[in-house]
Structure 1
Amino acid sequence: MRILMVGHYPPHGGGVARHLDNLVRELRKNHEVHVLTYGPVKVREFEKDLVHQVKVPPIYGLRGTSFTFLGAKKIAKLHRKFKFDVIHAHFVGTTSYAGVLAKRRLNFPLVVTAHGSDLEHTAKLTIGRFYVRESLKEADRVVAVSHHLSKLALSLGAREVRVVPNGVEKLEEVESKKRFITFIGALREYKSPETFIELASYFPNEEFLVVGKGPLREKLEKNAPQNVRFLGYREDVGRILSQSKLLVLPSRREGFGLVILEANSLGVPVVGRRTGGIPELIREGKNGLTFGTFDELLNGVRKLLEPKTNRKAGRIGRNVAKRYSWKDVAREVEDLYKSLLE
């Protein structure tokens, strides 16, 4: 098959870009896969003929809207040239609506994947809700990375949704003493990093790490107790998790929660808020614990810091993470494409 993927892609960072990078890598073993992404970017040399871009202004609000219309024009141009079997847009909103506009002109098979904040945030905005609803209504197939997102997609107008979870990529693991309680994520309100900072004050003898960047960093550092270190954005997540005894995920919304599987893959149990797709990944009392109230968070951390409980949850976590492979994800997506083309 000849496939066009549309969405954020390396060198862009973020969950969608990482998802696409891994999925494209697997699908290219058997298919010709092109990518259309937000520009300007410097394309990696090994795929320079397969990655296309639309230059958009680097201004929040204008970037997405610009891509909707410029992207639709570029998709149509690329489709006329390459005759794609399937076009697959990642992130339901401005990105997927670019696919919808192009499909209206050329009537090709269109798949859209919901990743999280598209349905949990964009769909609540006035114009965003329009983009989301139209995309879900006009796509030939809708994919969601969690059952939580699948229900949201159905409530927003999708006719049917197939759940295909993220895979977990192999991270660098180093032999090291497990020392830290760790937070990994954007330092933004919906990730609730202030909950992690407050947690640290209850465990003064433990070392807490904050990994990530965002507009809340300065405020968080001012309020943080002395046992908290801020590392900023890091590429060596595997090395950091290898030194962590526990990961805490206090997000107020989380469509999937890939960092749970990344931690589990290195034997690190997780305490996560009971919201969004998090309870689908944390088997309660097995590879971690979920919480609703702050007291539940405190109790969960205390329990998982017990050495015997921690080791057992870590072993189970490794087994859980093995069930989420990109090879399996690619196979499911490939089957979806085939069903669309029959």
Structure 2
Amino acid sequence: MNILLITIWKPRKGGIVTRVENLIRFSKHNFSIITYEKYINLPILRAISFVVYGFFKAILMRFDIIHAHYAIPQGFLGLLLKKVKKKPLIITVHGSDILVLGKNRIAKFLVANVLKNANYIIAVSKYLKREVVNLGVEESKVKVIYAGISFSLENEKEEKGKEKRVVYIGSLVKQKGVDILLKAFKDINAELFIVGDGKERDSLEKISGKKVYFLGERKNLDKIFSKASVLVLPSREEGFGLVLLEAMSRGIPVVATRVGGIPEIINKSGLLVERENVEELRKAITLILNNRKIAKKFSYLGRKTAKKFSWRKMAHEVDCIYEALVS
């Protein structure tokens, strides 16, 4: 079976690219990809040009199913192709397409209509499924399929000396709450490594204190993970939080906010705090840095929890949807 994927793709990084990469790796079907052109920097123009370019490129291609990652513009392009090519459309929602765009009334209307006209919706967490259903989409056509993790011997965290290192990995945008982390870190005796980039970077660097290092994008995170004492995800909104699984699989204790799909991952395997609560976040990070017994407990529980999430299982569940749609 031939699947047309409409998605964010390399050289961009992040949870969506990782998910798509592993879907292609473990699925038994064949894939073609349509993605953004690199050279247009204005978001609105990029989205419009992407839909136009993608439509005329895809119209000449042969495929059995359209699978879009993100509701708009990817899902919108998928819907146009569905109507013209008469092929079923699946949309995977990842979070910001619902949680961020959904705050704009026009975008929310567009997102809701795109999702209602898809044949099937994949949500990356139970929380996102509820949000999709709240938009008026039939619950029966929304399925939760979690992300996975790749385990290897290299996933073991190296034993460190006395250095205490707090790590954040992700985009530097408002919804990720890095500003809250910087405020919480001011009274913590440790180093803070911030990995990633985004439009908030300049303003975040201005409010950062001593022992805070902005490392930008990193292709290989193994060295960062191996030296981390704790990974923090202080998000204001979060569809899933794949980086938490990546840290937990390596035995790194995690601290994150109680938002979106995060509690579904962590449950009791890490520390959850209320979003935008600087003092609670500070106390949680300090507890793990200063209490070796608690750090070891969450290291063990995190690895145990992460083993329940498999890329192979994810791909198999998606394959089942593909096959059901064309049977």
TM-score of the aligned structures, taking structure 1 as reference length: 0.87
Larger CA deviation: 66-75 vs 287-296: 66-75
Any conservation in 1 of the 2:231–2:253 contact (CA below 8 Å)? yes
- 1:197 maps to 182
The amino acid of 2:135's aligned partner reads: L
Whether 1:34 and 2:32 are equivalent positions in the alignment is: yes
Whether 1:73 and 2:52 are equivalent positions in the alignment is: no
Aligned counterparts of 2:106 and 2:83: Cα–Cα separation in 1: 19
Task: For residue 22 of structure 1, report the CA deviation from its aligned partner.
Answer: 1.5
Q: SS of the residue aligned with 2:229?
A: strand
Task: For residue 93 of structure 1, report the CA deviation from its aligned partner.
Answer: 1.3
- 2:281 maps to 297
Q: SS of the residue aligned with 1:67?
A: helix
Any conservation in 2 of the 1:200–1:227 contact (CA below 8 Å)? no
- 2:194 maps to 210
Aligned counterparts of 2:53 and 2:181: Cα–Cα separation in 1: 41
The amino acid of 1:246's aligned partner reads: V
Higher relative contact order (CA 8 A, sep 6+): 2
Task: For residue 126 of structure 1, report the CA deviation from its aligned partner.
Answer: 4.1
Whether 1:132 and 2:111 are equivalent positions in the alignment is: yes
Larger CA deviation: 31-40 vs 179-188: 31-40
Equivalent of residue 145 in structure 2, options 160, 164, 169: 164
Aligned counterparts of 2:158 and 2:41: Cα–Cα separation in 1: 41
Aligned counterparts of 1:157 and 1:70: Cα–Cα separation in 2: 30
Task: For residue 176 of structure 1, report the CA deviation from its aligned partner.
Answer: 4.7
Task: For residue 316 of structure 1, report the CA deviation from its aligned partner.
Answer: 1.3
Q: SS of the residue aligned with 2:232?
A: strand
Any conservation in 1 of the 2:183–2:278 contact (CA below 8 Å)? no
Aligned counterparts of 2:41 and 2:71: Cα–Cα separation in 1: 20
The equivalences for 1:31-180 within 5 A come to 31-39=29-37, 57-78=40-61, 82=62, 84-160=63-139, 161-170=142-151, 173=155, 175-177=158-160, 179-180=164-165
- 2:224 maps to 240
* Deviation readout 1:292-336 (Å, 9 max, x if unpaired): 133322332233221011011111111211111110100000111
The equivalences for 1:311-330 within 5 A come to 311-330=296-315
Q: Which sections of structure 1, spanning at least 5 residues, go unmatched?
A: 41-55
- 2:9 maps to 9
* Deviation readout 1:147-175 (Å, 9 max, x if unpaired): 11101111112213100011124585463
Q: SS of the residue aligned with 2:71?
A: coil
Q: Which sections of structure 2, spanning at least 5 residues, go unmatched?
A: none
Q: SS of the residue aligned with 1:252?
A: coil
**Total equivalences in the alignment:** 318
Aligned counterparts of 2:177 and 2:262: Cα–Cα separation in 1: 14
Identity %: 37
* Deviation readout 1:178-236 (Å, 9 max, x if unpaired): 63111112222111111111122121x21221112223323322322212222122122
Q: SS of the residue aligned with 2:41?
A: coil
TM-score of the aligned structures, taking structure 2 as reference length: 0.91
Any conservation in 2 of the 1:7–1:36 contact (CA below 8 Å)? yes
The amino acid of 2:262's aligned partner reads: I
Any conservation in 1 of the 2:125–2:261 contact (CA below 8 Å)? yes
Aligned counterparts of 2:65 and 2:202: Cα–Cα separation in 1: 45
Aligned counterparts of 1:33 and 1:219: Cα–Cα separation in 2: 40
